[in-house]
Amino acid sequence: MTVVTHYDTLKITRDAPPELIQAVYKALAQKYHPDKNLNNPEAVRMMQMVIASYKVLADDAKRKEHDAWVTKQLPPPPKRALTPQEKAAEEKAATFAEAAAKWTSWAVATAAEARTVRDKAMQAAAKAANCPPSEKEKWEAWAKQSDADAVEAEQKAAAAAATAKQSTDEATKHAVVSKDGVMVTLYDTLKIQRDAPPEVIGAACRAMGQKFPNDPAVANAIEHLSDAQKKSAHDAWIREKDPTAGGPRKSTAEEIEARTRAEKTSNEAKALTAVADQAEEKAHEAERKYREAVVTAKAKATTKDAAAWKTWAEKAQKEAEQERARAKVAAQKAADSRTRAEAAFRELKSSSAAAERDDAMWASSTNMATD
């Protein structure tokens, strides 16, 4: 059985921070709000699920209980040994990430220093503009020097920012392919799942950006996932490194069996429907002939062949009744077959992973959430 958790409802990872949980909840609650989804029962159901999941994950005690339940349902897979290439990628990524973090911190510090120097230069300029004539030369010289210092500090800050950006770009080029045998992506950096909708991605960018304003990895993830073109490129990179990511899911044996039954019953229903249509046409034709025979028999009632025409009309009536009976039986068989086909397709749908995920999600939302 597919195990679906409250994290899956909100499309976040199990290590998502509280700020992200709250931001994603607000985004999804706005998306599925009844006022924006009139006469949409699916939106109402999703809203109930989002609320139920948030009640659990926003409460520390309930979240710990849910995490314990998830751990019991999904024991961690055995860690596989990293390949030499993966080990090298991790080491290189860690080195570049560390450098990027240092350069980013330096860029932030120099930017703050530049703002301070610029404030002093503005104060000096104000003093020079309002000082007595006897002190004007002195204050103007100070203001000029302060402005030169501010320009130098701003140039230094710009260079720091450029170096930090270059270092972050290098870290991106050597992104971690895997960690402990598990592939790492920019979605993991923002603590969201790879199939997160735009609302969740936007909420994650805002929440994680505010929580980690100086983290180059978070800034890089925000830059790429908030840009459609860059996000598409990253998704392509994921598919390249992990061919199963986002690809078609393999059907289970139960789904294949259910699909075979559904297709078989559907073909039977089509065939029986065609037979029923033919039977209906024959019945209509027989009834038409009967009506013509009745008219002819009435017209010949005073002739010497009246008895024969009457017999012919009676025979036509009997044939019409028989064809109508056959058409009725054929129609019932076709209707029964279509009912079986519909049931088979419902079985197929209920056995599919999507339906199983939906059912499990609803079950977890109703069973795990408490007021």
CA distance 272 to 332: 9
- Residue whose structure tokens are 């989002």: 50
- Summarised one tens digit per residue, pLDDT across range 38-65 is 888 888 888 999 999 999 999 999 999 9
Q: Are residues 363 and 263 in the same domain?
A: yes
Instruction: Check whether residue 160 and residue 195 sit in a common domain.
Output: no
63 with 196, same domain: the answer is yes
Nearest CA-CA partner of 114 in 159, 150, 164:
150
183-187-192-196 Cα dihedral, nearest 10 degrees: -110
The pLDDT of residue 180 is 58
Residues 332 and 300 in one domain: yes
Question: Residues 43, 34: contact at Cβ < 8 Å?
Answer: yes
In a domain, 47, yes or no: yes
pLDDT at 173: 59
Domain co-membership, 262 together with 356: yes
CB atoms within 10 A of CB 222: 21
- Among the candidates 241, 264, 280, a domain finishes at 241
Let me know whether 261 and 349 are in one domain.
yes
Q: How far apart are the first and last CA of the chain?
A: 27
Between 272 and 361, name the one with better pLDDT: 272
What is the per-residue pLDDT for 80? 59
User: Distances from the Cα of 115 to the Cαs of 84, 120, 157, 253, 273, in angstroms?
Assistant: 46, 9, 10, 66, 81
pLDDT above 70: percentage of residues in the chain: 80
Question: Distance (Å, rounded) from C-alpha 25 to C-alpha 32?
Answer: 10
pLDDT band at 362 (very low <50, low <70, confident <90, very high): very low
φ, ψ for residue 192, nearest 5 deg: -125, 165
The reply to whether 52 and 190 lie within a common domain is yes
The answer to whether position 247 is within a domain reads: no
Q: Token digits for 108?
A: 């932030």
Q: Which domain holds residue 38?
A: 6-79+184-241
Phi and psi torsions of 12, nearest 5° = -125, 165
pLDDT for the residue numbered 130: 83
Question: Does residue 264 sit in the same domain as residue 286?
Answer: yes
Domain contains 343: yes
What's the angle, vertex CA 21, arms to CA 96 and CA 175, rounded to 5? Answer: 15
At 360 the pLDDT is: 47
Do 268 and 356 lie in one domain? The reply is yes
- Residue at which a domain ends, from 241, 273, 289: 241
Of the candidate ranges 11-25, 84-98, 202-216, 220-234, the one whose mean pLDDT is the lowest: 84-98
Q: How many domains does the chain have?
A: 3
In the listed set 241, 270, 286, which residue is the last one of a domain according to the structure?
Answer: 241
Query: 232 exposed, middle or buried (CB, 10 Å; 0-12, 13-18, 19+)?
Result: exposed
pLDDT at 118: 85
Q: Which pLDDT score is estimated for 182?
A: 67
Residue 248 lies in a domain: no
Residue 232's alpha-carbon distances to 186, 225, 336, in angstroms, are: 12, 8, 48
> Is 58 a domain residue?
yes
Token look-up 């830059």 returns: 223
pLDDT, tens digit, 9 for 90 and up, residues 251-271: 555 556 677 777 788 888 888
Query: Of the candidates 346, 336, 345, which has an alpha carbon nearest to the alpha carbon of residue 273?
Result: 336
* Average pLDDT of the chain to the nearest whole number: 81
Mean pLDDT within 140-165: 85
Give pLDDT tens digits for 155-190: 888 888 888 777 777 766 555 556 655 677 889 999
Q: What is the pLDDT of residue 367?
A: 42
Instruction: Check: CB of residue 234 under 8 Å from CB of residue 188.
Output: no
Helices (H), the chain: 6-10, 18-31, 41-57, 60-73, 84-130, 133-173, 186-189, 198-211, 216-225, 228-241, 253-299, 306-351, 353-368
Per-residue pLDDT, 140: 83
